[in-house]
Amino acid sequence: MERRTFVATLAAAGSAAGTPRLALEGGTPVRQTPLRGDYWGPLHFDQAERGQVTEVVDTGMPFRFSGRAGRTPAKVADFEKAFAARMQTRFALAVSSGTGALETAVAALGIGPGDEVIVPAWTWHSTATAVIRCGALPVFAEIDDSFNLDPGDIEPRLTRQTRAIMVAHLQNNVADLEPILAIARKRGLKVIEDCAQCVGGSYRGKPLGSLGDIGIYSHQASKTITSGEGGALVTSDPALFERACRFHDVGNLAPVHREWIGQAGGSPMAGTNFRMSEFAGGVMLAQLRKLDRIIAAVRANAQLVYDGLRDLPGIRWRRRPDPEGDLAAPVFFAFATRAQRDRFLEAMKAENVPAVAPGGSAVLPVQPYIENKVAHHPAWPTWTTPRGKAIRYGAASCPRTLDILGRYAGVAVGPKYSRQEVDDIVAAARKVYPVVAGAAG
Ligand SMILES: Cc1ncc(COP(=O)(O)O)c(C=O)c1O
């Protein structure tokens, strides 16, 4: 019998046959070499992406808004049309990063000094810095055990200055949108969906990003599909789309966008430059065609892990508000204490199947620049208003968020993992989880 299969069988036998010794305690690791987690998009780079980049080089047209020799570049524009179709929105704007998309979304909604925006306490910095950068005040709400905004903690944080709710769909999971959208409707608030970490996911059959007023995405390397850096914004509101187009291109409305909107009614504003290059547009066109294939592969592998661990006594998964629509991985589960969780991470690493704590984001209320209210200028309006001066951040403002994130561990699952690699993940978790979760402390 092959060694790995033998170990897997032993692990599967579990406590009945006497638990196998953990590698951490001198036992034989499940794998001889560490299982590597690679970014998903670049694993799928092939002739399609190469062809797109080569075409831009050959035509000498890297800038989306001006052509050459009577030709008009169209890769970014084509990507926008294809992305809007995939996300089932009327419009899509390609930008240079997810951060740029967030800042554009906030600007399009006309949010600024004196306004407040609800932001989950755990998310990537940009979700909150986009609010700060426009001079508004981020007000953090707790997450729940889906790792996303807890709908029950939004209303207590609202004031008369609240204008919008930032919903982030983190770690490939979806936020529980229905109650959040209901609160927004009741209170007349706008909803921005930050889909950077769940590109291609859906909620009750609708693509993420299409349910709020504006959705944003990142195409940075660690996201579902990538051009290294990049981002996009979607909306079905022509007025918001026009403002977004103008903001991302120093106030201009390019002919391609003017045509798309049909009847543009806005006027120039002081904007910035978050334009996407034709190189990125071409690569994203190629990657977008692979999006559903990548997601299907991840889901299939993750399902094998769920199925392989389902019978472990007491296992409690991260909550999944829509298991049909999320991207399923990493497969996260809870421990009774942080000590147990940390022991699990350590023991899995020794088995050469590294597990992960919830990552890719930060608990923002405890970041020193937030807790000490530091913008890039001391007179920045975010924290000079009476509310800005009075608000208190820090650990005391988000105890549940800190508790939840300290007790979960997950196993990463990739779209190109072989069946043997998936079996190793299951074998290692089956070997380690019962020992660690059954221990005191
Ligand atoms: C939730 C979330 N929002 C926004 C961003 C910003 O995206 P970018 O890195 O493309 O600026 C990220 C990036 O990791 C993210 O995870």
Residue 211 CA, ligand 1 centroid: distance in Å: 19
Nearest Cα to Cα of residue 433 among 406, 409, 405: 409
* Residue count of the chain: 441
Q: What is the pLDDT of residue 438?
A: 86
Q: Is the pLDDT of residue 1 over 50?
A: no
Residue 434 CA, ligand 1 centroid: distance in Å: 35
The closest-lying atom of ligand 1 relative to the alpha carbon of residue 102 is 4
Q: Is the pLDDT of residue 411 over 50?
A: yes
Phi, psi dihedrals of residue 430, rounded to the nearest 5°: -65, -30
What would the mean pLDDT of 64-75 be, rounded to a whole number? 92
The closest-lying atom of ligand 1 relative to the alpha carbon of residue 231 is 10
Q: Is the pLDDT of residue 2 over 50?
A: no
5-19, 112-126, 302-316: segment of lowest average pLDDT = 5-19
Q: What is the pLDDT of residues 300-352, one digit of tens each?
A: 999 999 999 999 999 999 999 999 999 999 999 999 999 999 999 999 999 99
Residue positions annotated with a catalytic role: 223
Q: Which two tokens stand for residue 259?
A: 């045509």
User: In degrees, to the nearest 5, what angle opens at C-alpha 146 toward C-alphas 143 and 151?
Assistant: 50
What would the mean pLDDT of 270-284 be, rounded to a whole number? 98
Tell me, yes or no, if the pTM score tops 0.85.
yes
The closest-lying atom of ligand 1 relative to the alpha carbon of residue 361 is 16
Enter the DSSP assignment of 225: S
CB contact at 8 A, 91 and 236: yes
Residue 98 CA, ligand 1 centroid: distance in Å: 5
Residue 18's pLDDT band, with cuts at 50, 70 and 90, is low
Q: What is the pLDDT of residue 36?
A: 86
Nearest Cα to Cα of residue 415 among 304, 267, 309, 302: 302
Percent of the chain as helix, strand, coil, to the nearest 5: 45, 15, 40
CB contact at 8 A, 370 and 376: no
- β-strand partners of 231: 95, 218
Residue 196 CA, ligand 1 centroid: distance in Å: 5
- Residues with Cβ within 6 A of ligand 1? 97-99, 102, 123-124, 126-127, 168, 194, 196-197, 218, 220, 231, 360
Whose alpha carbon is nearest atom 7 of ligand 1?
98
Q: Which two tokens stand for residue 162?
A: 């609240």
Integer distance in angstroms from the first to the last C-alpha of the chain?
Answer: 37
Cross-sheet strand order for the sheet of 408-411? 331-334, 408-411, 355-356
Q: What is the pLDDT of residues 73-83, one digit of tens each?
A: 999 999 999 99
CB contact at 8 A, 391 and 385: no
Whose alpha carbon is nearest atom 8 of ligand 1?
98
Choice from 40, 104, 193, 197 to test ligand 1 binding pocket (greatest atom count within 8 A of CB) = 197
Q: Is the pLDDT of residue 427 over 80?
A: yes
Distance (Å, whole) CA 53 – CA 61:
11
Residue 414 CA, ligand 1 centroid: distance in Å: 20
Phi, psi dihedrals of residue 266, rounded to the nearest 5°: -85, 180
Distance (Å, whole) CA 408 – CA 391:
29
Cβ atoms within 10 Å of 47's Cβ, excluding its own: 9
- pLDDT averaged over the chain? 95
**Cα 87 from chain centroid (whole Å):** 16
Beta strands in 205-245 (DSSP E): 206-207, 214-218, 231-235
The closest-lying atom of ligand 1 relative to the alpha carbon of residue 97 is 10
The closest-lying atom of ligand 1 relative to the alpha carbon of residue 126 is 4
What would the mean pLDDT of 38-65 be, rounded to a whole number? 96
Choice from 95, 124, 143 to test ligand 1 binding pocket (greatest atom count within 8 A of CB) = 124
- Kind and range of the H or E element at 162? strand 162-168
What would the mean pLDDT of 97-112 be, rounded to a whole number? 98
**All domains in the chain, ordered by first residue:** 3-30+291-354+412-438 (3.90.1150), 47-290 (3.40.640.10)
Residue 257 CA, ligand 1 centroid: distance in Å: 25
Q: What is the pLDDT of residues 24-46, one digit of tens each?
A: 999 999 999 999 889 999 999 99
Whose alpha carbon is nearest atom 5 of ligand 1?
98
Q: What is the pLDDT of residue 407?
A: 98
Q: What is the pLDDT of residue 69?
A: 85
Phi, psi dihedrals of residue 253, rounded to the nearest 5°: -120, 105
Phi-psi region of 16 (alpha: psi -120 to 50; beta: other; left: phi over 0): alpha
What would the mean pLDDT of 252-279 be, rounded to a whole number? 94
The closest-lying atom of ligand 1 relative to the alpha carbon of residue 168 is 1
Distance (Å, whole) CA 246 – CA 280:
20
Residue 440's pLDDT band, with cuts at 50, 70 and 90, is low
Choice from 106, 119, 132, 218 to test ligand 1 binding pocket (greatest atom count within 8 A of CB) = 218
Share of the chain above pLDDT 70, in %: 95
Residue 91 CA, ligand 1 centroid: distance in Å: 21
CB contact at 8 A, 79 and 73: no
Q: Which two tokens stand for residue 364?
A: 């923002």
Residue 262 CA, ligand 1 centroid: distance in Å: 31
Q: What is the pLDDT of residues 350-367, one digit of tens each?
A: 999 999 999 999 999 999
